[in-house]
Amino acid sequence: MATQHSRSAARLMMAPAVVLLLGWMLVPLTMTLYFSFRKYLPLRGGDLGWVGFDNYVRFVSSSAFWPSVQATLVIVGGVLFITVVLGVLLAVLLNQPMWGQGIVRILVIAPFFVMPTVSALVWKNMFMDPVNGLLAHLWGLFGAEPLVWLTEASTQSIILIVSWQWLPFATLILLTAIQSLDSEQLEAAEMDGASPVKRFGFITLPHLSRAITVVVLIQTIFLLSIFAEIFVTTQGAFGTKTLTYLIFQRVLESQNIGLGSAGGVYAIILANIVAIFLMRMVGKNLDA
């Protein structure tokens, strides 16, 4: 049993890491809040003083604000739907004994280790190019006109690219959860005459509920800040300008640090609202 002295020593040894972590999080947040109340134009006069909530009003009243929030939620929702559904199916498939199972698992997980910028470039030039892309050639085999993906189906293209990147993560988490399932339950259900569909619906899927919750929560946190794929492919055009990309435009293209900082605060608020909503909807599975 840990004594009071050992617990005090453990806290003392953990203190530097905790202080460093708090500083790493709080310093950028404090600076963002500070600049959001000031008019700061680095190339046009520098710090021009305190403006109160003017930056917040200007940012939220911009014609691009609500479309960017909508685009963000659509992309996040689309990616979550694809990765969870296909992740469950792939996890069930990879859990079956097959020849070369280890190699197949490595190939399925490999896209997760590709940098987002590289992934977006590959999809843009090798798959979605309307002239030389692989998808254009496949369309041509059936006599159909090639689809200009990044203009005619821009949002769907972004969802497809990001889903390809995050599907391995979902598959890995769900595969680990399936492997922890007691095989005796499935064997007993099979002996009782339950079909594969019923075994999946009444045994496997409920067992995966906690893993699905973890996948949804973790992916949502990262997907709300999606940027690289949009910057490389559409640059925010054709309805793909997310809140993160809008902040980038305000900061770097308009050179308005105060306005961009106000957008960053809105992004933090949006992330917390989505996180609270998800925790209330699916977080209860963690306590099940």
> Tens place of pLDDT for every residue, the chain, 288 residues?
456 767 777 778 888 888 888 778 888 888 888 888 888 887 766 777 788 888 888 888 888 889 998 999 999 999 999 999 999 998 888 887 777 777 777 777 778 788 888 888 888 888 888 888 888 888 777 777 777 888 888 899 999 999 999 999 999 899 888 888 777 777 777 777 777 777 777 777 888 888 888 888 888 888 888 888 899 888 888 888 898 898 888 887 778 888 888 888 888 888 888 877 777 766 565 555
H helix or E strand, kind and range, residue 46:
strand 46-50
Report the C-alpha gap between 72 and 231 in whole angstroms. 14
Residue numbers of the domain that contains 191:
65-240
Report the C-alpha gap between 120 and 234 in whole angstroms. 10
Q: Is residue 190 part of a domain?
A: yes
Q: What is residue 287's predicted lDDT score, i.e. its pLDDT?
A: 53
Q: What is residue 82's predicted lDDT score, i.e. its pLDDT?
A: 93
Q: What is residue 278's predicted lDDT score, i.e. its pLDDT?
A: 74
Q: What is residue 2's predicted lDDT score, i.e. its pLDDT?
A: 54
Q: Is residue 187 part of a domain?
A: yes
Report the C-alpha gap between 249 and 63 in whole angstroms. 14
Q: Is residue 42 part of a domain?
A: no
Output phi, psi for 49, to 5 deg: 105, 180
Q: Which of 149, 201, 145, 211 is nearest to 177 (CA)?
A: 211
Q: Is residue 98 part of a domain?
A: yes
Q: What is the dihedral of CA 152, 68, 118, 91, to 10 degrees?
A: -90
Q: Is residue 177 part of a domain?
A: yes
Q: What is residue 221's predicted lDDT score, i.e. its pLDDT?
A: 84
Q: What is residue 288's predicted lDDT score, i.e. its pLDDT?
A: 52
Q: Is residue 36 part of a domain?
A: no
- The conformation of residue 47, written as its DSSP 8-state character, comes to E
Three-state DSSP state, 187:
helix
Domain total of the chain: 1
- The conformation of residue 146, written as its DSSP 8-state character, comes to P
Q: Is residue 264 part of a domain?
A: no
Q: Is residue 188 part of a domain?
A: yes
Amino acid at 215: V
Q: What is this structure's pTM?
A: 0.83
Contact predicate 181/204, CB 8 Å:
yes
Domain with residue 202: its CATH number is: 1.10.3720.10
